[in-house]
Amino acid sequence: MDHMEHSMDHSMHAMSPAMEMTHGDHDNHDNGCDPSHHHAMVFHACVCQEILFKGWMTTNALEMFGSCVAIFLAGVLYEGLKYYREALHSRATTATADSRVNITKNECGAGGNCGGPTVVKYSMLSSSHIVQTGLHVVQATSSYILMLIFMTYNLWPCLALVLGLGVGYFFFGWRKSTVVDANEHCQ
């Protein structure tokens, strides 16, 4: 009998932290939240969800709705950032009539005629490239954060994200000069 009690005691101490949290976290069961669904690798529609970090936990439909609005706006802003980066790059690399002053006659041809837009190469240390680098870091980080939100497999945040990206593309994508985005990080 003592050996059996010792085995059961040893088994309880060998429990994983996830199992201990499931057994010890009874408060969440009272409000309809089931901790075993937090990291399920299947799509679900629970309103109780940990999103990105422990402090961002939804426990009711109103909190989930608010989180989905924030995720929707993040998707719209992400598409806006992609358009803004492309517009800045286009502006920095294409010379206008005002910026032809920096182009020598050799670059314009023998007659010095610079008809039409001319491509200007900027250096690695130019302010345009430094700004593009900073925006690239922001875009990459945002992309991975949005991917992690989708990987909660919760139907509501996933739907909010997809709708936000769609609305963002609707508002910003029609002005883009390319359809395929070489800077997209989650494809």
Q: Give the angle 101-104-106 at the CA atoms, nearest 5°.
A: 150
**Of residues 121 and 152, more confidently modeled:** 152
The secondary element (H helix, E strand) that includes residue 58 is strand 57-58
72 vs 144: CA distance, rounded Å: 15
- The DSSP call for residue 50 is E
The Cβ of residue 26 has, within 10 Å, a number of other Cβ atoms equal to: 9
pLDDT digits (tens, 9 = 90+) for 23-65: 334 444 445 565 554 555 888 999 998 999 999 999 999 999 9
pLDDT digits (tens, 9 = 90+) for 99-125: 444 444 445 555 555 555 555 556 777
DSSP 62-90: HHHHHHHHHHHHHHHHHHHHHHHHHHHHH
Q: pTM of whole model > 0.75?
A: no
Q: CB burial class (10 A; 0-12, 13-18, 19+) of residue 149?
A: buried
Domain extent listing, the chain: 48-175
